[in-house]
């Protein structure tokens, strides 16, 4: 058995190194690849490391069973297909090798020399280095084109982010395959240009350095600085605590000294860090539930200093051309679990951000003021941060909604960005068709961001919110060029409404849960055209049952109902591009939705058991469908907006949205039916 992706078959993966991160990388691989029968092996020359690594992995799998993350059967399969060995000959047959040994270029070079003699020339070889350039690691490799760095973040089995760093010799095919493969197995990869430390570690280590400097200057204790750092950047833990948890003192001490020559002269290893490394000691940080007092003056000094350093560090990375603003912003949020710098600069104003960076640079020799912050700050112009990415394939624009932390959920800003991208493609004479898809393997779009819905306070606001979403979705439906929604995963709420605005839809094969309109669970109704487009595609009674019951349907049922035109076995985006081309060239007949009033709309809907759901909301759903479908599509959608406004005036709307926010999607709201 094997995992097949874009023409490459993976039957065995190998991880070199059973230290701090290797077993966690192996755990992730066996979790996602064992269902395909893929073997994972961990190789280390030290038996104690192997024993510890195996015990660590086994313990985490057992905890996963206890937490219901996976079943005992899944756990047994995971453990059966992972092995720990000191025999390098066991690498034979590996299709992907990830080296996760100590950060030492001579050691890594020896490891890859041995690996190359054991695996086929088609095997892909990557290093989980945190700093070293691919050109350094793979300098002595015979086939450099199939090499690169894939940098994982702590904890590797749960942190979704990976940096994919190509060396000068890495082929485009290798880099592209790695990006696509890691997305397919559930990670969030970003491409990063080669430079010592890559894009994200200089931020983690640079912010820590700024904290250490503040402590050495007497601006506060490490406890106080840690607390202000955590609060300022909405971090899970402050920089000193993060360093303790990751055991990062030794590698950071080396990295900061290297950055002095590799990046700029502001970087250096502070004396306090040298002392901690020599003592093998942790930083003093607050204990659990310990309250740390910080004066307002201290807080302001620490906060402004750290913001200036943070913004400047991030701007330098962008100036260096290592990564795009959008990729970098997402990478910071996911990998480092903190408020992304460019979002933060937009919120405080880029003019203020520039002032903070200039002030920090004035106090710290050799700290640069980045050109990107200068250019935006002078005009107080916000940075563009894309949630919808575009790439073109042979005249077909592929648009990808990428919000992995919320499974590509939509808020009004993303709705408007989608509309803008479609209009941009419509104006582009080189584009003859558009494919819309979602990032990752779980979701096309998981629905609307409930926090944005919960802000609606009145009937008028509700109707206006619906109209705003409809306006963007209507832009998609108005495009005359062929549009294909490639449903890579579930499409709920606004997601399926958006997909239905495309000319046609295809779905990844085998999805047991594909499409649903679960709005009634929240005490609302579909507000982006769902009550009108779904009946036109699957029939009034089927659509009404889906909307009123909130029960999703599988890909197989969606195909039978006519909601999607086909299920796709492997490369769904590739198939979407082909279909858009075929529609554009006339090879396949166009299939745009009939926008006239529907005929034979029933006067009433069949009785349906709706369980705990709101009877008041259900009555509005029925009205929206039955009256709206008798109108031309444009008028029916306008009527839906009025009904959405009406439902926002109910008590059950407030109960439903608040229940979701406070208790999560599995909790049933206690509706009062009014």
Would you call 99 a catalytic residue per the annotation?
no
Cα 448 to Cα 202, 453, 471, 491, 617: the distances in Å are 35, 8, 15, 11, 18
- Which residue intervals of 280-366 are DSSP H helices? 296-319, 325-335, 341-348, 350-363
Q: How many CB atoms lie within 10 A of CB 407?
A: 19
Measure the CA–CA gap between 278 and 265, rounded to whole angstroms. 24
Tokens representing 623 are: 């009205």
* C-beta of residue 170 within 8 angstroms of C-beta of residue 144: yes
Cα 150 to Cα 53, 102, 286, 434, 447: the distances in Å are 20, 15, 33, 31, 31
Which residues does residue 508 pair with via DSSP β-bridges, in sequence order? Answer: 568
**Short-list 119, 126, 140, CA closest to 170:** 126
> What are the DSSP E strand ranges found in 406-500?
433-438, 443-445, 483-487, 490-492
Per the residue annotation, which of 116, 316, 519, 646 is the catalytic one? 519
423, 429, 435, 436: CA torsion to nearest 10 = -20
**Short-list 282, 283, 257, 251, CA closest to 269:** 257
Count how many Cα atoms sit within 13 Å of the Cα of residue 255 in the half-sphere of its side chain.
Answer: 24
Which residue carries 């993060």 as its tokens? 242
Per the residue annotation, which of 116, 463, 497, 646 is the catalytic one? 497
Quick check: helix, strand or coil at residue 594? coil
Measure the CA–CA gap between 547 and 527, rounded to whole angstroms. 12
Tokens representing 641 are: 């907006």
Q: How many CB atoms lie within 10 A of CB 515?
A: 29
> What are the DSSP E strand ranges found in 571-649?
none
Q: Could you tell me the strand order of the sheet in which 388-393 lies?
A: 388-393, 396-401, 433-438, 483-487, 504-508, 566-568
**Short-list 465, 458, 455, CA closest to 650:** 458
* C-beta of residue 315 within 8 angstroms of C-beta of residue 187: no
Measure the CA–CA gap between 30 and 41, rounded to whole angstroms. 9
Would you call 497 a catalytic residue per the annotation?
yes
Catalytic site residues?
497, 519
């Amino acid at each position: 058995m094997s995992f097949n992706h874009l023409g490459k078959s993976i039957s065995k993966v190998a991880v070199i190194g059973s230290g701090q991160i290797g077993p966690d990388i192996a755990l992730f691989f066996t979790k996602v690849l064992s269902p395909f029968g893929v073997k994972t092996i961990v190789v280390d020359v030290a038996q104690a490391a192997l024993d510890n690594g195996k015990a660590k992995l086994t313990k985490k799998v057992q905890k996963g069973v206890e937490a219901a993350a996976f079943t005992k059967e899944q756990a047994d399969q995971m453990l059966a297909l992972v092995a720990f060995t000191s025999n390098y000959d066991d690498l034979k047959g590996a299709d992907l090798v990830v080296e996760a040994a100590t950060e030492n270029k001579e050691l890594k070079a020896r490891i890859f020399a041995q690996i190359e003699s054991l695996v086929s020339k088609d095997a892909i070889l990557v290093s989980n280095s945190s700093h070293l350039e691919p050109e350094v690691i793979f300098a002595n490799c015979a086939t450099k084109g199939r090499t690169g760095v894939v940098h994982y973040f702590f904890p590797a089995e749960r942190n979704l982010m990976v940096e994919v760093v190509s060396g000068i010799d890495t082929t485009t095919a290798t880099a592209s395959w790695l990006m696509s493969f890691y997305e397919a197995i559930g990670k969030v990869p970003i491409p990063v240009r080669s430079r010592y430390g890559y894009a994200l570690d200089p931020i983690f280590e640079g912010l820590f350095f700024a904290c250490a400097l503040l402590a050495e200057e007497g601006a506060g204790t490490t406890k106080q600085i840690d607390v202000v750092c955590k609060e300022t950047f909405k971090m899970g833990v402050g920089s000193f605590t993060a360093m303790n948890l990751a055991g990062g003192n030794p590698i950071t001490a080396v990295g900061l000294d290297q950055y002095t020559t590799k990046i700029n002269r502001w970087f250096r290893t502070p004396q306090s860090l040298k002392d901690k490394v020599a003592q093998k000691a942790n930083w003093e940080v607050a204990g659990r539930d310990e309250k740390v007092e910080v004066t307002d003056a201290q807080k302001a000094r620490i906060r402004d200093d750290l913001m200036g350093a943070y913004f400047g560090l991030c701007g330098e990375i962008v100036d260096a051309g290592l990564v795009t603003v959008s990729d970098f912003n997402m990478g910071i949020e996911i990998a480092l679990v903190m408020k992304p710098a460019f979002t933060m600069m937009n919120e405080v104003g880029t003019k203020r951000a520039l002032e903070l960076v200039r002030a920090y640079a004035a106090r710290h020799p050799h700290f640069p003021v980045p050109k990107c912050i200068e250019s935006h700050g002078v005009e107080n112009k916000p940075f563009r941060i894309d949630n919808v990415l575009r790439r073109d394939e042979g005249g077909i624009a592929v648009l990808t909604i990428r919000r992995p932390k919320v499974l590509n959920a939509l808020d009004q800003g993303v709705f408007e960005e989608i509309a803008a991208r479609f209009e941009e493609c419509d104006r582009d004479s080189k584009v003859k068709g558009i494919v819309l898809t979602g990032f990752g393997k779980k979701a096309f779009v998981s629905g609307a961001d409930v926090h944005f819905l919960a802000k609606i306070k009145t009937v008028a606001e509700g109707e206006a919110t619906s109209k705003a979403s409809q306006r963007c979705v209507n832009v998609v439906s108005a495009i005359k060029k062929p549009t294909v929604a490639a449903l890579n995963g579930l499409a709920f709420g606004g997601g399926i409404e958006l997909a239905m605005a495309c000319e046609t839809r295809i779905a990844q094969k085998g999805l047991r849960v594909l499409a649903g309109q679960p709005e009634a669970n929240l005490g609302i109704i579909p507000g982006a055209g769902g009550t009108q487009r779904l009946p036109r595609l699957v029939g009034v009674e089927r659509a009404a049952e889906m909307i009123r019951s909130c029960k999703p349907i599988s890909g197989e049922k969606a195909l039978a109902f006519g909601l999607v035109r086909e299920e796709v076995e492997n490369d769904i985006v590739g198939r979407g591009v082909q279909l858009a081309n075929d529609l554009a060239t006339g090879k396949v007949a166009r299939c745009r939705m009939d926008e006239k009033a529907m005929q034979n709309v029933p006067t009433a809907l069949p009785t349906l058991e709706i369980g705990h759901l709101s009877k008041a909301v259900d009555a509005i759903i029925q009205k929206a469908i039955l009256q709206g479908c008798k109108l031309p599509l444009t008028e029916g959608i306008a009527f839906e907006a009025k009904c959405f406004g009406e439902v926002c005036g109910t008590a059950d709307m407030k109960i439903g949205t608040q229940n979701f926010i406070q208790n999560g999607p599995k909790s049933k709201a206690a509706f009062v039916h009014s």
